Amino acid sequence: MRDEQFDVPVTIETKHSGRLLTVTGTVQAAALLVDRWPDEERGPKYRSALKAMMDAMEQRRAVGTARRAFTAAAREARVFVGEGRR
């Protein structure tokens, strides 16, 4: 598996309110989805994002598609802050 870097980072808010985290690649995004995503926010877009990260790391899907799936999951979970570095 390869760590594919996002062309534009995604910034999310962590469970510690007010703390921001800049997500820059597939390995980091996948780890967040598996280990730190709120259980109550693991909806359909979460599942799509997790699959997209795995596919991108195995070079079966474009990294841009995986990034968009992660952004959609972050919006669904209401932790999305913005795109680009903060």
pLDDT in tens, 8-26: 999 999 877 678 999 999 9
In the predicted model, is pLDDT for residue 82 greater than 60? yes
19 φ/ψ angles, rounded to the nearest 5 degrees: -90, 130
Numbers of helices and strands, H then E, in the chain = 3, 3
In the numeric block, which tokens belong to residue 53?
Answer: 């990260």
pLDDT in tens, 32-43: 999 999 899 999
Residues 6+ apart with CB under 8 A from 4: 25, 26, 56, 57, 63, 66
Whole-number average pLDDT of the chain? 92
Strand stretches in 1-86, DSSP E: 5-13, 20-25, 80-83
pLDDT at 1: 82
